Amino acid sequence: MNIFIQIAKSVGRILGIRKSSKSRVSVEKEYEFPSHICASKIIITGPSYGDKTYFASFIVDADKLISWAFDHSKGVWSSSKNEQKAREILPVWMAIKSEDKESYISILDGPMRQVLAPYIYDFYLKGWVSYYCHLCHSQHQKLTENDHDHQSQGAHSSWIVEWICPNGHIIHRKQHDLMWIKKRVRSTG
Ligand SMILES: [Zn+2]
């Protein structure tokens, strides 16, 4: 089935969800369809969001992402109501046609960013990402990974992941922690 036909079918379903959930009383502000058009390029992480771990602006082509977003909305579910709604609305929002798509770069709202940001490295591996390094004021597509400071103590391991631009600037830095939990085997006797 054509992706746009599938997406059009989802619109009705999502609007149905919106209608029925209006009567619910909730402290969390209900997620609303973005009021701005999705541009052909979307910033997923970077200083424009106040990111503490991404120092470059990572940009994805919406055209390349749309099929992924549609499949993702069918295959992944979140217990966060707003994140889940954003996940379902994302491909619909991306499919809206507009002549202005090329004239700006889209910024995501919080729930849509929760959906996409964890996959930035996957998108990079697929070749869908370019990034703007704010230190060399250049656009790049390739980055170098530098994992270091590997430490292990008992059940706890940690290490630091860095991504470096071709001019040597750190564009992403994050400490990763891993806790090993040994499952106790229960005696059945
Ligand atoms: Zn740089």
In angstroms, what is the span from residue 55 Cα to ligand 1's centroid? 10
- Rounded (10°) angle between helices 81-95 and 62-75: 140
Q: Please give the C-alpha separations between residue 169 and each of 55, 112, 119, 143, in angstroms, as whole numbers.
A: 9, 28, 22, 10
Domain positions in the chain are 3-7+37-142
Structural tokens at position 114: 């929760």
According to the model, what pLDDT value does residue 103 have? Answer: 84
Please, which pLDDT band fits residue 183 given cuts at 50, 70 and 90?
confident
pLDDT tens for each residue of 16-50? 444 444 444 546 688 999 988 999 999 999 999 99
d(CA 43, CA 183): 41
Distance 40 CA to ligand 1 centre (A): 24
Question: What is the 110 CA–ligand 1 centroid distance (Å)?
Answer: 27
92 SS3 class:
helix
Q: Which of 48-52's residues contact partners 24+ apart within 8 Å by CB, and which partners?
A: 48/107, 49/107, 49/113
Strand order in the sheet with 138-140: 105-107, 41-45, 56-61, 129-133, 138-140
Q: Is 153 helix (H, G, I), strand (E, B) or coil?
A: strand
Ligand 1 centroid–CA 102 distance in Å is: 25
The Å distance, Cα 119 to ligand 1 centre, comes to: 22
Q: How far is the C-alpha of 109 from the C-alpha of 76, rounded, in Å?
A: 19
Q: What is the mean pLDDT of residues 64-93?
A: 92
Average pLDDT over residues 7-19: 44
Q: Do the beta carbons of residue 117 and residue 49 sit within 8 Å?
A: no
Q: Count Cβ atoms within 10 A of the Cβ of residue 187 and give its class: 0-12 exposed, 13-18 middle, 19 or more buried.
A: exposed
* Model confidence pLDDT, tens digit, residues 46-69: 999 999 999 999 999 999 999 999
118 Cα to the center of ligand 1, angstroms: 22
pLDDT for 100: 82
Over the stretch 97-139, which tens digit does the pLDDT of each residue have? 888 888 889 999 999 999 999 999 999 999 999 999 999 999 9
Measure 139 CA to ligand 1 centroid, in angstroms: 8
pLDDT over threshold 60, residue 10 = no
Give me ligand 1 centre to Cα 136, in Å: 4
Query: Residue 22: what pLDDT?
Result: 46
